[in-house]
Structure 1
Amino acid sequence: MATAAGKSSTDTPTPADLEADIQQLKADVEKLTKHLAKTGEHGYGAARRAASEGVEQLRAQGEAAFESVRGGAQDIEAQLIASVRERPVTSLAIAAGVGFLFALLSRR
């Protein structure tokens, strides 16, 4: 059986020895607490940075997707305007037909 400070197992610890062991234990617990606090702060900071970078990346992707959709909508609008200008009577007939279908569906 190992004992503290090189004493043999037959020696009885004195109150001073016990007090010294308790003080050492308190110091060790305090160091461990400080170390865990630093580790926690580091982990929190890293997680916060990663989340911030992720948000920024998602924002950039969202803006790119919005611009892509916006460009596609502008292209479709230009094609629709060109088609209406080329064939106004056909466009009017299509619009009337779509309106009639909506009217039929909304009655139900």
Structure 2
Amino acid sequence: MARAETGTPKSDLDDLSAQIATLKKDVSALTKTLGDLGVHSKNAAINGAKRTASDAYEAGEAQFHAARDQAERAGQYAADTVRAQPATSMAVAVGVGFMLGMLTSRR
């Protein structure tokens, strides 16, 4: 049976030192890669949050404009109705005012 030679203690120590140096380089490269991954993940999260905020702002702005347009149409309709039927409009306004007065009076 053949016997494996291990070499001298000096050469074994040199091999071990070289392996440790290689491990240090590998750990350093791994640490840098993980750091880069963390930065990339942070940037992706920030960009996603900005995009979501921008979308929400645009949706809110569209809803605001739609509500404003509807309010303007309702106001224009009310004005047109008052011009077309002023007596009826006056009677309705007096009736609503009387009802509100009755509801809010202290008796």
Q: Which category describes the TM-score, using the shorter chain as reference length? A: 0.7 to 0.9
Q: 2:49 aligns with which of 48, 51, 54?
A: 51
Give the 5 Å matches for 1:10-21.
14-21=12-19
Residue in 2 aligned with 1:81? 79
Identity of aligned residues (%): 37
1:15 to partner: Cα distance? 4.7
TM-score scaled by length of structure 1: 0.72
Report the equivalent of 1:5: none
Structure 1 residue ranges without an equivalent (≥5): 1-7
Deviation sequence 1:30-64 (CA, Å, 0-9, x none): 11110011111111112222222222222222222
How many residue pairs match? The answer is 100
Cross-structure match for 1:63: 61
Shift of 1:107: 3.6
Partner of 1:32: 30
Give the TM-score taking structure 2 as reference length: 0.73
Equivalents in 1 of 2:97, 2:87: separation in Å?
15
- Please provide the CA RMSD for this pair: 2.6
